[in-house]
Amino acid sequence: MMVCDNCKERQASVIFTQENEGVTTERHLCEKCAFQSQMFHLDPSQEPLSIQQFLSHWFGGVESMQPFQQTQEGIPDGPTCPDCGLTFKKFLDIGKFGCPTCYSTFKERLPRIFSKLHNGHTTHVGKIPVSFNELFAVKKKIEEIRAQMQQAIDAERFEDAALLRDEAKALKQRLAACQDGGGDNDVN
């Protein structure tokens, strides 16, 4: 087993190669140190690299990276997750997310990655936690009521529209409670 170059404690599982003034250094890091590593921090003056090239780097291995070796340090980091500080670049390097918020941070770029990993699939089907089912149900109900309200307005049934508006408002409050409480709120 190879020990992490940085913490010298955990098992090294990620290899980072860095090119600096013509000298290539290899660092063997554990996942945790790789995650926290500052090695790939962005220099905004360097030329950007397309997402496709990031992906081909992650999935296609080294050869697709060859022409960019010289500028590797300058590869932009892409979006940075506000919660865990992971950059998209580093995500591609270590292949792991740092927190649930990474998913929304990298949202646009994920379908391509998932498609590769999951046989062309990019969206979840299957089990949904009950609390989320409730959330979906409330959201859907609000949409319905809004549509009814519009119909009522179009038909100049303003009293009905006002009632529907109040109903939608109540549901929105309930939705907000659901979303930040994680289910233990007084939703009834």
Residues at the interface with Zn ion (CB under 5 A): 4, 6-7, 10, 30, 33, 81, 83-84, 86, 98-99, 101-102
- Given Zn ion, another protein, none, residue 3, with its beta carbon under 5 to 8 Å by kind, binds none
1 binds, among Zn ion, another protein, none (CB under 5 to 8 A by kind): none
Q: Give 165: exposed, middle or buried? Use CB within 10 Å, 0-12, 13-18, 19+.
A: middle
Decide if residue 131 touches another protein (CB under 8 A).
yes
Question: Least Å distance between CB 158 and another protein?
Answer: 35
Number of residues in contact with another protein, rule: CB under 8 A? 43
Backbone angles phi, psi at 23, to 5 degrees: -105, 125
| CA nearest neighbour of 75 among 34, 17, 26, 6 | 17
CB of 47 to another protein, least distance (A): 27
Distance, in Å, from the CA atom of 146 to the CA atom of 171, rounded to the nearest integer, reads 11
Residue 93: how many CB atoms within 10 A of its CB? 22
Tokens, residue 46: 């360097």
Among 22, 127, 186, 188, binds another protein (CB under 8 A): 127
CB of 102 to another protein, least distance (A): 8
Rounded to whole angstroms, how far apart are CA atoms 95 and 14? 10
Q: Are 106 and 77 in contact (CB under 8 A)?
A: no
User: Which one of another protein, Zn ion, none is in contact with 125 (Cβ closer than 5 to 8 A by kind)?
Assistant: another protein
Q: Which is nearer to Zn ion, 86 or 113 (CB)?
A: 86
Contact between 32 and another protein by CB under 8 A: the answer reads yes
Interaction of residue 15 with another protein, rule CB under 8 A: no
Mark the segment that binds another protein (CB under 8 A) among 3-11, 16-24, 62-70, 163-171. Answer: 3-11
In the complex with Zn ion, which residue's Cβ is closer, 100 or 111?
100
Partner that binds at residue 33, options another protein, Zn ion, none, CB closer than 5 to 8 Å by kind: Zn ion
Please tell me whether residue 133 adopts helix, strand or coil conformation.
helix
HEC string for 57-96: HHHHCCHHHHHHHHHHHHCCCCCECCCCCCEHHHHHHHCC
